[in-house]
Amino acid sequence: MKNLKVGDLVWRKIPIRGTGRTAPALEQRRRLGIGIILSKKMAGRNPRHMCLTVYYPKTRKIYDIAESLMTVVSSL
């Protein structure tokens, strides 16, 4: 996976079909669209993992999400 950086444009990665997570990922990608990474930080429990704070212009909202769930659309 490409190392995501602050300022990169990202959107929700679509998992492999049959995992039961495809529909929610597709819905999130449709609803939120492309986002801009505002910051990165370690968060979560068991195990701690890298999380991104992402601003979505389409909805004008900011969300935190695990880096592993995102894919880069365009990089600086």
Q: Torsion-angle region of residue 29: left (phi > 0), alpha (psi -120 to 50) or beta?
A: alpha
Q: pLDDT over 70 for what percent of the chain?
A: 95
Answer yes or no: is pLDDT of 1 > 70: no
Residue listed under structure tokens 């300022």? 7
Question: Whose CA is closest to 69, among 14, 17, 32, 20?
Answer: 14
Residue 18 has a pLDDT of 67
> In angstroms, rounded to a whole number, what is the distance separating the alpha carbons of residues 44 and 8?
22
pLDDT in tens, 31-42: 999 999 999 999
CB under 8 Å to 71, separation ≥6 — which residues?
A: 10, 11, 12, 13
pLDDT band at 45 (very low <50, low <70, confident <90, very high): confident
Output the pTM of the full model.
Answer: 0.86
